[in-house]
Amino acid sequence: RLAVCPTVEEACAALYQELGDHIGLDLAVFSFQGKTGTRKMGWWKGGPLEEELLDDIADGEGWISLNVSSLGRLVRNNLNAFFQEPGEDRLARKGIRSYAAFPLAGEGFKGFILVGSERNGAFGDREVSLLENGSRVLGETLSNPLRVEGLQSRIRLLEDMYRRQEEKLRIKTDLINLASHEIRHPLTLIMGFSEVLREYRDRLDAEESREIIEKLGKAADRLRRSVVNMMEISRLESGKLPVDLEEVDVGQLLEGLVEELRARGTDHVLELDIAEGARRMLADRDKLEIVLFNLMDNAVKYSPSGTRVEIFARKEGREFLLGVRDQGPGISEENLNLIFEPFRKGEGMERGTIKGMGLGLYLVRRLVEALGGRIEVHSEHGKGSTFVVRIPQSEEGMSGLGYSAGALRA
């Protein structure tokens, strides 16, 4: 019966049933360790053995395993509440009066089998011989399914590696395609307006010239942001992202980003709230700027024209909090775990009206993690979203910036 069992569990169950038919077992525990890890299973009177007792008996470093390894086998026919060897109390409390344990060995694994009975004197010479033969046959039988499991595990590992490589290749291909589009648009504007200035500069009045120069500046800034984002993503994917910590004037940084968004012509109401003692922190300024701009730009993109966007900074314990709150469509619960994946765009607005590659929040999450922090999002569909970045501040770093242990000093 054992030879035709395709899995380890079925082989052990078959031997338990076979021995039960010939000996009348109450308890059977199988424990072995191999390349695929530790396996254990147990039965008590035809049903599964309780997990706590199984863990105690099947412990690879426990008393049974150690004794079987040193003595070769254990046989006890007179277990009672008064005369117990170390470790036998759990068996005695279960009602076991006789037990026997034998080693299990095969290709790439080792372990033991323990059987028990509520009867005294259950394991005589005939039963011991049958159990020894059973454990030997089981060891030979288990080698095949364990070998198959090992091969299957390696195949799954290779398949997983292949899928990851495929995903990386897909991301790179999508990035190249989207990046070419993202770069082409501002380049076309820059070339077009430059051509207008070159050909018609003598016919343009001051107001027209100023308007064209402003549009050139906006297109150049958009191009710069796109290139910076793609460079950071490239460094992240290659695992070569340096982090240069320095003192950052948070107030100055946020005020500059707010002015940049206003210069782009947004009609949103941008409100800046910097708490007392939260104007300076230790961070990589360039990466922090990318994180904050992407969050602020997203808030403007995905919230209705004229609504309020709040940007805030504060200190909580040893963490610096930077947040952006909008009055946009919000994010449904099922999409909250997806928004930080690459090439994802928001909900609630026509996709064609939103410019960008869908990489902003993916880049934000990866950069925040590179800074040792984490990002949280609180949102309810139809009621806006709040993104909060938490960056830890070490005692050494705060002292270096002139902070006291209890609070930041502005």
What structural domains does the chain harbor?
Answer: 2-155 (3.30.450.40), 163-238 (1.10.287.130), 246-400 (3.30.565.10)
Neighbours of 309 (CB within 10 A): 24
CB 330 within 8 A of CB 380: yes
| Mean pLDDT of the 129-152 span | 69
Contact indicator for 27, 44 with CB cutoff of 8 Å:
yes
Q: 89-103, 113-127, 153-167, 254-268: which range is least confident on average?
A: 153-167
Q: Are 54 and 30 in contact (CB under 8 A)?
A: no
Residues 22-33 as b/e (b if ≥16 CB within 10 A, e otherwise) read ebebbbbbbbbe
User: Cα 250 to the chain's mean position, in Å?
Assistant: 30
Q: How many CA atoms, within 13 angstroms, populate the side-chain half-sphere of residue 40?
A: 17
What pLDDT shows up at residue 102?
92
Eight-class DSSP state of 333: G
The predicted-structure confidence for 223-263, as pLDDT tens digits, reads as follows 777 777 777 777 776 677 788 899 999 999 999 999 888 87
User: Which residues partner with 111 through β-bridges?
Assistant: 32, 104
Judged against a pLDDT cut of 70, whether residue 132 lies above it is answered with yes
Phi-psi region of 48 (alpha: psi -120 to 50; beta: other; left: phi over 0): beta
- What's the token pair of residue 378? 């609180």
Rounded distance, CA 229 to CA 362, Å? 10
Report yes or no: 115 and 99 within 8 Å, Cβ to Cβ. yes
Question: Is the pLDDT at 49 greater than 50, yes or no?
Answer: yes
**Given this model, what pLDDT does residue 284 score?**
92
User: Residue 174: what pLDDT?
Assistant: 66
pTM (predicted TM-score): 0.50
Q: Any idea which residue has 């364990």 for tokens?
A: 146
Q: Degrees (nearest 5) of the Cα angle 304, 310, 312?
A: 155
277 touches 239 (CB < 8 A) = no
Please report the pLDDT score of residue 168 as a whole number: 72
Tokens 């993690």 belong to residue: 369
CA distance 58 to 29: 7
Q: How confident is the model at residue 268 (pLDDT cuts 50, 70, 90)?
A: very high
Any residues with CB less than 8 A from the CB of 215 and at least 6 apart, and which? 189, 193
Find the distance separating the first CA and the last CA of the chain, reported in whole Å: 79
Residues 373-383: pLDDT tens digits? Answer: 999 999 888 88
Residue where the block lists tokens 């026997």: 100
Average pLDDT over residues 65-88: 79
Is residue 110 classed as helix, strand or coil in its secondary structure?
strand
Give the chain's radius of gyration (CA, Å): 34
Amino acid at 32: F
The mean pLDDT value of the chain amounts to 80
